[in-house]
Amino acid sequence: MKTVLITGITGYIGSRLAKALLADYEVCGLVREPLRREYIADFQDMLRLVPVDGTYESVYRAIQTIQPDLVYHLAAYYTGAHGGQETPKLIDSNITFGAYLLEAMLACGVPSLAYATTYMTHYQGADYCPVNLYAATKQAFSDLLAYYTDSGLLRAATLVISDTYGPGDHRPKVLNVVKRAVKTGEKVTFSSGNIPYDVIHIDDAVSAFRLAGERLLRGGFRNDIFQVVPDSPLSLRETVELMLRVNHLTLNAGWGERPAAEREMSELIRLYPTPPGWVPQMSLEEGLRSLCRD
C-alpha cells in the first residue's frame, strides 16, 4: 500500500481528501499543536498524524519518518486583509513552510507533489496579478516550486481552485453564511451579486486532487497546472437564488447594499485546462440540496 502525506489535513478540503483516500492508501498528515479535530474527529484513529513545530528540522524529520510516495500540499493561511499582525502569518504559512516542505521532500527522496493554489493570482484575467497579499504569497510558493520542477528535482501538479462547498463545512463561506441566515432570519447584505461564482462541490474537488495524485504516482506530470471549475458557472446572485429555490427557503437579502470589494474578482478566469480525466459529477442544484439537508 502506498503512503500519501497531506498538509492541511485538519482543514475542510484536506480532511475530506484524507477520508476519501483511506481505503486505498496509508494516509498521513503534518499537524501543529493545538490539534484541530473538528473535521477529522470521526476517523482520526485511522490517520497517522505527525507533529511539526514550524522549523525545517521538524518538517525534515517528519518526511524522513513517513517516507510518503506522494505529498498533497493543502495547508495555507488565508486573510483578505494584511498588516503587521497578518503579514508574518501569511509568509510563515504560505511561503516558509512550503519552502521547508520542498527541501525536505528533495532531501528524503520524495518525488511528487499535488498542490492547491488560488484563482486570485489572476485578477481581471491577467496571467499574474494578485488580488491581495494572500494571493501573492501563494504565487511565491509556486515560484519556489518551479525551481524544483524545472531542475528535474521534483514533479508536481498544481490545481487552481476558486471556491468549494459541501456538507459539514463550517468555514465562513458565502453559502454557509446564507444557510445560517436562513435559520436565524438575520439579514445578509451583498454587493450586486453579478460576479461569476466558480464554486465546486467538495466531492468533485476531492476527485480532482485524487486523479492528479494518481497520475503523479504513475510518473506523470512535470509542473503542470490545471483549473478545477464547473462547466457552466452562475453568478453569485443566481447561485444563492437557486439555493433558496430548490430548498424552498427564504432569505432576507440586501443585494447591492454592500460596496464591491476594492479588487473584486469580476472576470471569469479560464487560463488552464481541467485535470486529465476529471469531470465534475455533482450538479449545482443537487449539491445545493445536499448542503441544506446537512
| Residue 39 scores a pLDDT above 80 | yes
pLDDT the model gives residue 265: 87
Domain CATH number, residue 245: 3.90.25.10
| Residue 294 scores a pLDDT above 80 | no
User: Mean pLDDT across the stretch 187-201?
Assistant: 94
On whether both 144 and 185 belong to a single domain, the answer is: no
pLDDT the model gives residue 82: 79
| Residue 264 scores a pLDDT above 90 | no
237 inside domain: yes
Q: Tell me: the pLDDT tens digits for 142-163?
A: 999 999 999 999 999 999 999 9
Q: How many domains does the chain have?
A: 2
102 inside domain: yes
On whether both 7 and 134 belong to a single domain, the answer is: yes
Q: Burial letters for 117-146: b for 16+ Cβ neighbours within 10 Å, e otherwise?
A: bbbbbbbeeeeeebbbbbbbbbbbbbeebe
Helix (H, G, I), strand (E, B) or coil at 253: strand
286 inside domain: yes
For 136, the enclosing helix (H) or strand (E) is helix 133-150
For residue 6, name the pLDDT band (cuts at 50, 70, 90): very high
On whether both 62 and 103 belong to a single domain, the answer is: yes
How many residues would you count in the chain?
Answer: 294
Cell 524544483 -> residue: 148
pLDDT the model gives residue 263: 86
pLDDT the model gives residue 261: 83
On whether both 35 and 133 belong to a single domain, the answer is: yes
For 235, the enclosing helix (H) or strand (E) is strand 234-235
On whether both 154 and 263 belong to a single domain, the answer is: no
On whether both 23 and 119 belong to a single domain, the answer is: yes
**Model pTM score:** 0.96
- Give the range of the structural domain holding residue 154, as residue numbers without chain letter: 3-165+198-228
276 inside domain: no
On whether both 104 and 154 belong to a single domain, the answer is: yes
Domain CATH number, residue 62: 3.40.50.720
Q: Tell me: the pLDDT tens digits for 272-288?
A: 999 999 999 999 999 99
256 inside domain: yes
